[in-house]
Structure 1
Amino acid sequence: MKKVVSILLVLLMVTSLFGCASKTAAPAAETLTGKGDGFGGEVTVTVTKEGDKITKVEIDAPNETQGIGTKAVDELPAKIVEANSAEVDVVAGATYTSNGIIYAVKNALDPAANPYPAPKEEKPAAEKPAAEAPKGEAGSIVKFGLGQNISIAKSKDATADATAVGQADVTMAAVGFDADGKVASVYIDVAQTKVAFDKDMKVTSDKAAEVKSKKDLGADYGMVKASSIGKEWFEQIEAYENWMVGKTIEEIKSMKVVARDESHPAVPDVPELTSSVTISVDAYMEAVEEAWANAEEVAGAEKVGLGVETHIGSSKDKAADVLPLAQVDTYMSATALTADGKVAGTIIDNAQVKIKFDEKGVVTSDRAAEYQTKKEIKEGYGMVKASSIGKEWFEQMEAFEEWMVGKSIAEITGLTVKQRDDNHKAVPDVPELTSSVTITVEGYQAVVEEAAANAR
């Protein structure tokens, strides 16, 4: 009997040991903190990890703009947890807050590789200055302008071997001028937006995503791979911008250029730029010239910046009674700031580019046409017919621009708004604007905020 009991005890012990061996201890939770710089100032994150898995991200960003920067605070934690990485896309309309949060998470996960505060040489590539770029001198800013040009020439028809693509290239320049008409500040960017379709002419591009401009893409644009001088687009355009400072429009237009090939008809051919700029600059020159032609007087401006935001959400799939459409809506703003960061003046516009296709995927819009912005179209836009206050888009935008003068970015982004309907979710709800602005303004607030962040 004792022998039987002994055997049973041994079996129980062995079973118990196997049971323990089959259970893997759960990794202990680890809490890490990190910091980054958002639009409004320092942001702090707390990252919880269990082993190699990020399980929770908490963000403390008390100075970010309500309704804009706070979108990033609300949306990024879930994205980072889902991706198990800080390598996620920024939240549309909240680029600077997003980048600050993303950097803070990287700082938490690997502070040695991502120190805070980040040393100057660790800035994102798009913010690095082109080392060889010469820069002229100019006086104080007394005028500023917004110039642009729009092309759909690179749109592609559907063929037996390829699907259709609607492409809108919107080139923009925000420029400050001194009393002698010399360029005192210039910021150029391009929204190169592609709307792709499948063989059934259904949109395959992400309609909900904000399209990044060339400067926003930075090194991700990928020009350096094909560059004979080993420089990205953002580096080359910054060299060209720096060269313009201190020059008049006539001096800029008279710069000697050379045609490299059909796609590069106007490459700079002056000693100051031959080692730093191999891109064709004709479209950029035109945008700067238009900024001068449209320039407005401004008082107390210390710097000028450009803000850009692009969406393709209004593009349409082919349907029984609907022809396919690639629609690219690019919001833009040239904003001048005073020394204390208040708006000295702002110019806002919208390029609503519609690229039409037939049912077979052939582009029916005129590829060679000169497309206009809403401000250029003026009364031709036709909003007055549906306006409850009898005002066109350009009139309402001018009223909104005037309201911003003298206000801080926080005051502008903190404007009290109301939802009129699903298409008008942020209509101004303050006495100064209720009789003059009934359009939704969140996109315009966002580009003014970005312009302020880019101002120089």
Structure 2
Amino acid sequence: MKKILALLLAATMSLGLFACKGNEAETPEETPGGETKTLTGTGEGYGGEVKVTVTMEGDTIKEVVAEGPNETEGIGTPALEQLPAKFVEANSWEVDVIAGATWTSNGLIYAMKNALDPTANPWPMAEEEEEEGNVEASDVFFGFGVANMPRKGPGADDKEVQVWSINQVLAGALFDGDGKILHLLVDQVEIASPNYDGAGMPHISGWPGQTGYNIDENHDENVDGVTENTEDLFLKEVSEWMTKRQRGSDYKMGMSTWEEQMDSYQKLFTGKTVEEIEEWFTKYTSDLNGRPLKDGSDKPEDKAKYDALTADEKAMLADVTSGATMSLNDGHGNIVEAIKLAYENREGLEITEAESRGFGVSFMPRVGPGKDDQDVQVYSFNQVFASTLFDKDGKIVSLHVDQMEVATPNYDGDGMPHFSGWPGQGGYNYDENHDEKVDGKTEDTEENFFSEIQGWKTKRERGSDYKMGMSTWEQQMDAYEELFIGKTVDEIEDWFEKYTSDLNGRPLKDGSDKPEDKAKYDALSAEDKAMLADVTSGATMSLNDGHGDLIAAIRASYENRITINLSVK
């Protein structure tokens, strides 16, 4: 397509049509070589808009001046310096990108296209419409998996204080009866110590009361101070967490965004089994960093592995790396493992069709529950994950909700995932045998940090061990999922507003000793009360309290939905 556009552009220039199609800035007097015009164009660089000013003499590009005041020095600026001469030499926008400055290069190439043919290449750029999927199968299974990975790094700050991070890869997949992926959605949560210098990175500074942590507030690789570990800061940090998809175009990495690269991998893996994905990963990615192999590597191991491939395999890899070069398994997270877990957790779906599917996450910090026997506060954070299939009217045809609750280690519940803070913060009170009495403090070591994160489990993974009142969390969540099938998200929100307590988000029940709940329940019809009795026979836990906002996650899954046109025959 790129070559065809170039030929069409050359043809229009030779026919004398180019000047009327460009963004004209001025029209000086004619010269012997033909009419001289100055055209301007705009594209999207890494730091913002980049612009070109193009001087044309007839159909010849005589001069190009590039501007990008917000491009990163030494990374984006080489493209600003080198591409103008290449445009002049090629007499076209069709040039190779500058190595290491892919994003800025692509922005300048688009700016040239905008200058030369703004009709076909408008600015602002026209948003690409999502291509509608078309998925058919005789049997459909859904699985969801979370792969948790602790990381030491990247590096240390300018004060030689270590940077730490936690990576959680979230994978939801539809499989056919043969285990082949029909549709795949992957997202990721990356949380770092606040001395990580990347803009937009979700932070946690440790638990309130712990030693504060170095913070690089303006992301200039220089520490600005130490966080004041208060409850207000803790609540603010967790409330502002976002997944990598939620970070969207702000999360740029090399050639594109994390989201765009992940979309490329999802497309690549569709139609494969998990075993085939693992085989692909073993054969076609670096054993050093988990990235797809590329020609010209300066690492002997990667070069030898790449050179052993066939010409067809190298061509396939070139196609892959045109859309994605990020690692599938490194310190940033194990994407392959999350997909494998999704397969292992799969369950059959009794549906006939679905127009769209969505995935949503909600984050909630919590002060509590309560304190330990030494009067030290318990804290926790909750992540709710909702994977949903919708029909053409926006009604839910399938719903899968899971949750990760992580607490300070003085929480006395058996099986609760723990986080003691970052290494170097002194550890936290620990109730090791869950008898409501503190046994000491956790070891303030790298080993303990790694052990804790690697042991995290979702509430579904905790299964029958996670009992709450009448049944398990999993059983109660299953009851809610069944209740919400056939409803739109608006109807679920209306149901929640009408039939749950304004105090704790639990379904109303007869006989409450809370006046507000009693009044709300008594105002219901006999039919409403009968429905609620049926609901509370299977689920009484809250749909929105300090343990997490299930409704918000379902709403987010609807707002993030994409068309798949699933048909089960």
Relative to the length of structure 1, the TM-score reads: 0.59
Between the aligned partners of 2:161 and 2:460, the Cα distance in structure 1 is 33
**Aligned residue for 1:11?**
none
Alignment-derived partner of residue 481 in structure 2: 401
How large is the RMSD of aligned CA atoms in angstroms? 3.9
User: For each residue in 1:228-248, what CA deviation from the matched residue of structure 2 results, as whole angstroms up to 9, or x when unmatched?
Assistant: xx2111110011111122222
* Number of the residue aligned with 2:419: 355
Indicate which of 442, 447, 450 corresponds to 1:367: 450
**SS of corresponding position for 1:398:** helix
Change (3 A) 1:241 1:247: same
The structural deviation recorded for 1:334 is 1.6
Count of aligned positions = 315
Contact 2:141–2:174 (CA under 8 A) maintained in structure 1: yes
Q: Aligned letter for 1:419?
A: S
Distance verdict in 2 for CA 1:157–1:330, change over 3 Å: farther
Residue 314 of structure 1: how far off its partner (Å):
4.4
AA paired with 1:173?
A: A
Question: Partner of 2:560 in structure 1?
Answer: 454
**Counterpart in the other structure of 1:258:** 285
Does structure 2 retain, via aligned residues, the 8 Å contact 1:306–1:451? yes
Deviations 1:208-265 (A, max 9, x none): 6241110000122242xxx1xx21111100111111222222222221332374xx33
Q: Which amino acid counterpart does residue 500 of structure 2 have in structure 1?
A: K
1:378 matched residue in structure 2: 463
1:166 Cα deviation after fit: 6.9
Shift of 1:454: 2.7
Give the aligned partner of residue 361 of structure 2: 308
Distance 1:311 1:159 in 2: 29
For 1:301, the aligned partner's letter is E
431-440 vs 157-166, greater mean Cα deviation: 157-166
Which residue in 1 is equivalent to 2:324? 277
Higher relative contact order (CA 8 A, sep 6+): 1
1:160/1:338 CA distance change after superposition, 3 Å: closer
**3-state DSSP class of the match of 1:437?**
coil
Q: Retained in 1: the 8 A contact 2:420–2:449? A: no
Structure 2 portions without partners, runs of 5+: 1-122, 192-202, 207-211, 214-226, 295-316, 407-417, 428-443, 509-531, 563-569
Name the CA distance, whole Å, in 1 between partners of 2:157 and 2:373: 21
**1:427 is the counterpart of 2:425:** no
8 Å contact from structure 1 (residues 323, 359) kept in 2 = no
Matches within 5 A, 1:10-409: 123=127, 139-140=136-137, 142-154=140-152, 161=159, 167-193=165-191, 194-197=203-206, 198=212, 202-203=229-230, 204-205=233-234, 206-207=236-237, 209-223=239-253, 227=254, 230-255=255-280, 256-259=283-286, 261=288, 264-267=289-292, 270-282=317-329, 283-298=334-349, 299-302=351-354, 303-314=356-367, 321=374, 327-353=380-406, 354-357=418-421, 360=426, 362=444, 365-368=448-451, 369-381=454-466, 383-384=467-468, 387=469, 390-409=470-489
Q: 1:188 deviation in Å? A: 0.8
- Residue 438 (str. 1) matches residue 549 (str. 2): no
Contact 1:210 1:311 in 2 (8 A): no
Instruction: Report what 1:17 is aligned to.
Output: none
Q: CA 1:319 to 1:409, structure 2 compared with 1: closer, same or farther past 3 Å? A: closer
2:383 corresponds to which letter in structure 1? T
Aligned-partner residue type, residue 246 of structure 2: D
Q: Which residue of 2 aligns with 1:93?
A: none
Question: Unpaired segments of 5 or more residues in structure 1?
Answer: 1-118
Q: Is the CA contact 2:172–2:185 (under 8 Å) kept in the aligned structure 1? A: yes
TM superposition score normalised by structure 2: 0.48
Query: 1:418 matched to which residue of 2?
Result: 500
Equivalent residues of 1:342, 1:407 under 8 A apart: yes
Q: Offset at 1:191?
A: 1.5
CA distance in 2 between counterparts of 1:242 and 1:218 reads 18
Contact 1:396 1:438 in 2 (8 A): yes
Displacement of 1:167 in angstroms is 3.9
Distance, in Å, in 2 between the alignment partners of 1:176 and 1:445 is 23
Q: Report the secondary structure of 2:477's partner residue.
A: helix
Q: State the distance in 1 between where 2:560 and 2:260 align.
A: 15
Pick closer, same or farther for the CA change 1:332–1:363 going to 2, 3 Å: farther
AA aligned to 1:202 is N
Q: What is the CA–CA distance in structure 2 between the aligned matches of 1:146 and 1:336, rounded to whole Å?
A: 13
How far apart, in 1, do the equivalents of 2:252 and 2:460 lie? 33
In structure 2, relative to structure 1, the CA distance for the partners of 1:455 and 1:184 (3 Å cut) is farther
CA drift of 1:286 comes to 1.7
Give the distance between the partners of 1:248 and 1:137, measured in 2 at CA. 19
Q: 1:379 to 1:181 in 2, by over 3 A?
A: closer
Give the conservation status (yes or no) of the 8 Å contact 1:165–1:195.
Answer: no
Give the secondary structure class of the aligned counterpart of 1:439: coil
Q: CA deviation at 1:158?
A: 11
Matched residues in 2 for 1:347 and 1:436: separation?
A: 17
Structure 1 position 374, deviation (Å): 0.8
Matched-pair contact (CA < 8 Å) for 2:145–2:342: yes
Partner of residue 309, structure 2: none
Structure 1 counterpart of 2:16: none
What residue identity is the alignment partner of 1:427? R
Q: Provide the rounded CA distance (Å) in 1 between the counterparts of 2:476 and 2:124.
A: 41
Q: 1:359 to 1:120 in 2, by over 3 A?
A: closer
Whole-angstrom distance in 1 between the partners of 2:364 and 2:420: 17
| Contact in 2 for aligned 1:149/1:371 (Cα 8 Å) | no
